[in-house]
Structure 1
Amino acid sequence: MSRRRKKKHHEDHMDESWLIPYADLLTLLLALFIVLFAMSSIDAQKFQLMSKAFNEMFTGGTGLMDFSSAADDGALDKPNVKKQETHNSVSNKEQENAAKLRDQEELKGLQGKVQAYINQKGLTDKLQTSLTDEGLLISIRDNVLFNSGSADIRGEDIKTAGEIADLLIMDPPRNIIISGHTDNVPIKNSRYQSNWELSVMRAVSFMKIILQNEKLDPRWFSAKGFGEYQPVAPNNTPDGKARNRRVEILILPRSKG
């Protein structure tokens, strides 16, 4: 009889208080996983609502889970900001590409205009055009404008230079580089000590003539001389030398890169 009473007394006084912290621990772990899941979402509004609900459940609206300040500071909006920055970067790139395409189309139209002039004047063997990565290039044989060894434009060719100047009128204007080139035959006379000097003066002389057109702004023009150092053909034949003796007009793109 006494044994039964002892056993019953032991069962009545078994300590089950450990169940309470264990249940709280499970609840907190569940809350932690929910919070971590919410933090992985870029929806700041839903996160704030979730945070508020748990704060009210565990702390009456205040405590460790109060993330409203972080949300107010914009920390949760960073993914959206980054997404917006990426979108803006893509948009800028698309605008740049569109501008380049428009620029190329404009240069193609200008090339067609110059080519029509060449065909009309029967200058296909003396003037050439090509569209390159650097821009629209117009190449003029030296015998169109100059006597051998001279940088002075012949009187009968000043009209041709003026007509070419008309082709360079653009709105808005573009940067234009005039460059002179020679063959590799050495030159030394009373005026020019080298092919380099001759090429520079031919570029300058031609630029002066076309800038007599009042519709062209000198601020958009520059002149260079390359002498014999940028040949477009071998200098071992008369035709190759003739091709290398030239003045070039390079019309630059408005957009770089």
Structure 2
Amino acid sequence: MSKKHRREEDDEHPDESWLLPYSDLMTLLLALFIVLYAASSVNISKLEELSHAFDNAFSSGINILDKNALIKATDEQNKHQQQRHEDVGARPNKEQLKQEEQENLENLKKKLDSYIKQNGLSTQLQTQLNQSQLLITIRDNALFPSGSADVKPDAQKLAVAIGQMLQSYPDYEVIVSGHTDNEPINTQEFASNWELSSKRAINFMKILLQNPAFDPKKFSAIGYGEYRPVDTNNTAEGRAKNRRVEVSILRKYTDTATDDTVLDAIAAQDQKDASTASP
């Protein structure tokens, strides 16, 4: 009789122990949806922080909805955002850097022009500031004896003076290029104008690098021979202009559109040079 009574009680009061894990699961799912909804408008860094919060909750048993934990996570997130804003504000933007560079190159050009004027070198030296570089052009008769790559003593002083003006701007890339006319040369020292122009560029660059303020990694020397004339080779005056050394101080900040314009200008100049060089 007692067994029958016990079975009736069991039928009237079914086992409800499954409700506990079910309620825990529903609570976690509710929390998950709330967090996902809140995270739908945040950035990746916030999602990473929430991911860490989930990892900590499931691995250490910390309640993910704990008020103190949420306040701490929010404070850390605000600190990270504030730090990022401060870092961005502290970095100068590209336009500011371009403006500073323009002012630096203009000041350097003024110094060079003043030196040229004071020393009566206007027929031997020229400066030009364009969208890609500050270009210093030096006639070869101011630097070298005819057919030689040895820098004249007076020209060595000139190279030192140019180096002293450049040393205030040591972060720029500098290219020294040598150019000749189309008169062929074939000596024991120079088999062609390639060798002559290259050696002249290297020798002039070496004098610049005697200044300890310069980093040799930022300097390079190129010999173009007679293949980049700036004037006709059909006259003595034109050939004299073509025999030169150029010192290029390259800009670090240029616009993409400007770069394309410069490349187009170079291509057009190359076509002009080719037609000028032809007899």
Common fold by TM > 0.5: yes
Quick one: which amino acid aligns to residue 157 of structure 2?
A: K
- Aligned residue number for residue 41 of structure 2: 76
Measured against aligned partners, the alpha-carbon deviations of 1:167-220 in whole angstroms (never above 9, x if no partner) come to 211244322111101111111111111111110000001111222223333232
Measured against aligned partners, the alpha-carbon deviations of 1:18-66 in whole angstroms (never above 9, x if no partner) come to xxxxxxxxxxxxxxxxxxxxxxxxxxxxxxxxxxxxxxxxxxxxx99x9
- Aligned residue number for residue 214 of structure 2: 216
CA RMSD of aligned residues (A): 3.3
- Aligned residue number for residue 237 of structure 2: 239
Quick one: which amino acid aligns to residue 36 of structure 2?
A: A
- Aligned residue number for residue 113 of structure 2: 115
Q: Give the stretch that moved more between structures: 152-161 or 126-135.
A: 152-161
- What secondary structure, in the 3-state scheme, does the structure 1 residue paired with 2:93 have? helix
The equivalences for 1:10-89 within 5 A come to 68-72=34-38, 74-77=39-42
Task: Report the CA distance between 1:109 and its aligned residue.
Answer: 0.8
| CA distance, structure 2, for counterparts of residue 99 and residue 216 of structure 1 | 21
- With the length of structure 1 as denominator, give the TM-score of the two structures: 0.65
User: Where does the alignment leave 5 or more consecutive residues of structure 1 unmatched?
Assistant: 1-62
Measured against aligned partners, the alpha-carbon deviations of 1:63-87 in whole angstroms (never above 9, x if no partner) come to 99x9624323x21346xx9xx9xxx
Contact 2:173 2:218 in 1 (8 A): yes
Measured against aligned partners, the alpha-carbon deviations of 1:97-136 in whole angstroms (never above 9, x if no partner) come to 2211211111111111111000011101110000122210
Larger Rg: 1
| CA distance, structure 1, for counterparts of residue 140 and residue 93 of structure 2 | 41
Which segments of structure 1 move beyond 4 Å, counting only runs of 4 or more?
none
User: Where does the alignment leave 5 or more consecutive residues of structure 2 unmatched?
Assistant: 1-28, 47-80, 256-279
Identical residues among aligned pairs (%): 46
Aligned length: 192
- What secondary structure, in the 3-state scheme, does the structure 1 residue paired with 2:191 have? coil
- What secondary structure, in the 3-state scheme, does the structure 2 residue paired with 1:76 have? coil
Contact 2:131 2:254 in 1 (8 A): no
Quick one: which amino acid aligns to residue 251 of structure 1?
A: I
